[in-house]
Structure 1
Amino acid sequence: MEKLIKLLEVNDRLANECSTAMPLINDPEVVKAFNFLTRLDSLADKYQFASKDIVLLLDPSLGFEEFSKVPAGQLNSPAKKRKPRPLKSYLNPHTGEVIETRGANHKLLKQWKALHGAATVEKWTR
């Protein structure tokens, strides 16, 4: 008897849900969306994409669990470049040689610093 009562309750619930769903099935917007999703799924299968990939392509801010390691906005933004160092010019008063460099890793500049001292060579900037 309990099983029969349970079956009748489930049947009533299904009938209520069906009566709610029937107007939606005939709604033109729902039909249009369903057709779109069907075509999208067939294209995704054809080109071997998962629906998560498509959603991520359309809106990267949604981010899924497997993409959570990538910070938001980094997928489609270029890498940030730091400001270039200023160009420094050094004039050796002993030889008249001129060096232009953006860093301290210049071979001749290192030789000058070893020979005359770093403080002295820094005074040679123009």
Structure 2
Amino acid sequence: MSVITTYHNKLVEMDRLKAEIDRLKNSEELKDALAFQADLEKLMDKYSKSAKDVAAIVGGEVATTKTGRSKRTPSTWVNPHTGEKVVTAGGNHKTLKEWREEYGAEEVAKWKE
């Protein structure tokens, strides 16, 4: 697709989105939702409560913006032959790889504390 075609397609898409936004702005549903949000935020400020606090009170969950996987807990391996310690959250550590090559993966797995 040429740059000019892409440009024109984006203009058409932008016009469509503007029309959709205008319809939303005029809807009573959005006006009610925005009014509720403003009132709720005022109450949260008045009582020094966060969204998590409010969710806990009403029994819901708060959507988090955090994405990706959670942090891994570090593990410790101790080489019984050398006494060397390795602490890492993943199993792809340079020293662990060397130990696996030298002693075998099953043997090194036993060294995990």
TM-score band (shorter)?
Answer: 0.3 to 0.5
TM-score scaled by length of structure 2: 0.44
Structure having the higher Rg? 1
Which structure's relative contact order is higher, taking Cα pairs within 8 Å and 6+ residues apart?
2
When normalised by structure 1's length, the TM-score is 0.40
